Amino acid sequence: MNETWIGCMIRIRDEQDEQAFAEVFQYFAPRVKAFLMRSGTDAALAEECVQEVMTTVWQKSAMFDPARASVATWIFTIARNRKIDILRRQKRPEPEDIYWGPEEEPDQAESIGLQQESEKLGAAIAELPDKQRELIEKAYFGDLTHREIADMTGLPLGTIKSRIRLALDRLRHAMDRK
């Protein structure tokens, strides 16, 4: 059987024989796809990879050397390498995701403004009624959901939501005033 495939590859290499390529494609494409899927590749990616592998077989047929490897070994090596290339392309971070060094120092005026806003917010929270302040602290500083707060305090969920909504309204007005 290997002699048949070697003959096909030689015809592809020397004569650009499309019929020989069709035979190689028909036989190896489904096997390459199955190989890729068994190794964890999803069907769509495996299909894409098979197309690239078989294109490479056609374009690089001059590189096939029957003294070094069988046709199957050569094609499956191309498939393995192509799969690795595709996976690397998929995992490559976008340029904006790449760390380029230390962050710029914030503008001095921006830092002072942020500090002043934080102080205003702290004063506004301190002015809230105790019941509302406690819920705001649990929800935003304790990172608890409304349901978790209700379970923790024994208060009805609707009461928790109403108190938090009222507290946020008070904070919004307090921040606008200051």
SS (H, E, C) 16-37: CCHHHHHHHHHHHHHHHHHHHH
Residue 40 lies in a domain: yes
Residue 156 lies in a domain: yes
Share of the chain above pLDDT 90, in %: 25
Residue 18 and residue 75 in one domain? yes
CATH code for the domain in which residue 49 is found: 1.10.1740.10
Residue 82 and residue 129 in one domain? no
Residue 95 in this model has a pLDDT that exceeds 60:
no
Residue 75 and residue 28 in one domain? yes
Domain boundary residue, one of 92, 117, 149 = 92
Residue 65 and residue 134 in one domain? no
Full residue range of the structural domain in which residue 67 is found? 2-92
Q: What is the mean pLDDT of residues 118-135?
A: 85
Residue 82 and residue 12 in one domain? yes
Note the pLDDT of residue 140: 75
Residue 97 in this model has a pLDDT that exceeds 60:
no
Average pLDDT, the chain: 83
The more confidently predicted of residues 138 and 96 is 138
Residue 131 and residue 65 in one domain? no
Residue 109 lies in a domain: no
DSSP track, 131-160: HHHHHHIIIIIS---HHHHHHHH---HHHH
Whole-model pTM: value is 0.50
The sign of the CA dihedral 52, 58, 62, 68 is positive
Q: What is the mean pLDDT of residues 71-91?
A: 83
Residue 108 in this model has a pLDDT that exceeds 80:
no
114-134 in b/e burial notation, b at 16+ Cβ within 10 A?
Answer: eeeeeeeeeebbeebeeebbb
pLDDT digits (tens, 9 = 90+) for 12-67: 999 999 999 999 999 999 999 998 888 888 888 889 899 999 999 999 999 988 88
Residue 129 lies in a domain: yes
Residue 113 lies in a domain: no
Domain boundary residue, one of 92, 108, 135 = 92
Residue 153 lies in a domain: yes
Share of the chain above pLDDT 70, in %: 88
Note the pLDDT of residue 41: 80
3-class SS shares of the chain: helix, strand, coil, % to 5: 80, 0, 20
Residue 38 lies in a domain: yes
From residue 154, alpha-carbon distances to 59, 146, 148 in Å are 72, 12, 10
Indicate the number of domains in the chain: 2
Residue 98 lies in a domain: no
